[in-house]
């Protein structure tokens, strides 16, 4: 991490690849810890939030300029002095953006062994069976309160979170409206079961919701004019699940909300949440839901960037909506 971005994060400027340090894999002291070989690192929209001026408040601490970025990933234990994690074990956890990491198990947040089974691949543990999938699953369980026949609107519906929400909503018998920013993404939303799909760059959100709504649930990944359109096109007691607002992550002109007064008029329930808070309440995500992924019932797609040196480009791409599916870096063969 090289500099705080003032707009979109640019590879080579805000994020650089530095290969000046090497680790002697055979001899590096472990001090009771583990040598991990990083296989996959997750690229998520919120990383931009951590690339901020330290004086600005946020839900996670800002990254420190001059140190590696950090995020969820999958690794293999190469050497270990920790009896819980034998050499060869595959794990997921939060790792520095490096090819190898030496750490004690207690210093890797979320560290746990992972397995593969059917469609539940190693990389899926960074996506549909990992943090973004858990976001969809736990947020939906906690706040959607769905009734068959109700109408839900999902933005960024072709991303990992959005596409998982679409499938959960269909399984609960809802009519699903999904929006995304390209025609390919629109097709993808249809392929995972959405009933009404559109490209918000070509069609006005408000027009679609007026025709296909009113909505009972809004799963918000973007904020801005989509949220404004949802407010004015919802039913009384609608649930708004405020998962993300990517339209404001990268600065630029901020959309001026016009319809906030509908929050009280329609007695809307607004639920903002962070996945880490909800996960402990839904342990079945790691068992029952993972089995639904393994069986192919819950579908997902991935956008794989090869090599840590290309991680900066992936970071910019997800902010610009250039990713199709779960964005991840294949740091090594897996």
Applying CB under 6 A, the residues found at the interface with ligand NDP are 44-46, 132, 135, 156, 158-162, 180-182, 185, 221-222, 243-244, 246-247, 273-275, 318, 321, 323, 327
Q: Counting Cβ atoms within 10 Å, is residue 280 exposed (0-12), middle (13-18) or buried (19+)? A: exposed
**Nearest residue to ligand NDP, by Cβ distance, number only:** 159
Please identify, using beta-carbon distances, which residue of 105 and 248 lies nearer to ligand NDP: 248
Question: H helices of the chain, where?
Answer: 47-50, 131-143, 160-171, 183-191, 205-212, 224-232, 262-265, 275-278, 288-294, 311-320
Please identify, using beta-carbon distances, which residue of 80 and 164 lies nearer to ligand NDP: 164
Please identify, using beta-carbon distances, which residue of 49 and 89 lies nearer to ligand NDP: 49
Neighbours of 25 (CB within 10 A): 12
Tell the smallest beta-carbon distance from residue 55 to ligand NDP (Å): 22
Please identify, using beta-carbon distances, which residue of 102 and 205 lies nearer to ligand NDP: 205
Tell the smallest beta-carbon distance from residue 277 to ligand NDP (Å): 8
CA distance 21 to 209: 53
Tell the smallest beta-carbon distance from residue 273 to ligand NDP (Å): 6
Please identify, using beta-carbon distances, which residue of 37 and 273 lies nearer to ligand NDP: 273
The residue among 6, 109, 128 whose CA lies nearest residue 60 is 109
Tell the smallest beta-carbon distance from residue 64 to ligand NDP (Å): 21
The residue among 200, 120, 117 whose CA lies nearest residue 158 is 200
CA distance readout (Å), 290 to 17, 60, 228, 293? 34, 27, 35, 5
Tell the smallest beta-carbon distance from residue 318 to ligand NDP (Å): 5
Tell the smallest beta-carbon distance from residue 120 to ligand NDP (Å): 18
Cα-only R_g, the chain: 20
Please identify, using beta-carbon distances, which residue of 102 and 186 lies nearer to ligand NDP: 186
């Amino acid at each position: 991490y090289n500099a705080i971005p003032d707009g979109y994060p640019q590879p080579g400027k805000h994020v650089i690849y530095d290969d000046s340090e090497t680790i002697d894999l055979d001899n590096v002291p472990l001090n009771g810890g583990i040598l991990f070989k990083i296989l996959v690192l997750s690229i998520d929209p919120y990383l931009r939030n951590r690339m901020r001026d330290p004086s600005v408040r946020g839900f996670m601490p800002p990254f420190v300029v001059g140190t590696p970025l950090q995020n969820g990933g999958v690794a293999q234990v190469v050497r270990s002095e920790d009896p819980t994690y034998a050499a060869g074990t595959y794990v997921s956890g939060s790792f520095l953006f490096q090819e190898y990491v030496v750490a004690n198990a207690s210093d890797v947040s979320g560290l746990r062994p992972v397995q593969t089974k059917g469609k539940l691949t190693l990389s899926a543990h960074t996506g549909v069976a990992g943090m973004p999938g858990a976001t969809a699953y736990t947020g939906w369980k906690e706040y959607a309160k769905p009734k068959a026949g109700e109408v839900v609107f999902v933005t960024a519906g072709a991303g990992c979170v959005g596409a998982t929400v679409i499938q959960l909503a269909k399984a609960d018998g809802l009519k699903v409206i999904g929006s995304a920013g390209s025609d390919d993404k629109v097709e993808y939303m249809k392929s995972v079961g959405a009933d009404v799909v559109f490209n918000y760059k070509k069609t006005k959100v408000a027009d679609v919701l007026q025709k296909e709504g009113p909505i009972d649930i809004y799963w918000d990944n973007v904020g801005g004019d989509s949220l404004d359109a949802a407010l004015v096109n919802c039913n009384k007691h609608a649930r708004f699940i405020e998962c993300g607002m990517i339209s404001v992550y990268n600065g630029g002109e901020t959309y001026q909300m016009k319809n906030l007064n509908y929050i009280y008029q329609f007695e809307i329930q607004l639920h903002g949440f962070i996945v880490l808070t909800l996960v402990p309440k839904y342990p079945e995500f790691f068992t029952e839901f993972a089995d639904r992924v393994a069986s192919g019932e819950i579908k997902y797609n991935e956008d794989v960037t090869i090599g840590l040196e290309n991680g900066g480009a992936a970071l910019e791409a997800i902010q610009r909506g250039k990713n199709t599916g779960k964005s991840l870096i294949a740091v090594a063969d897996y």
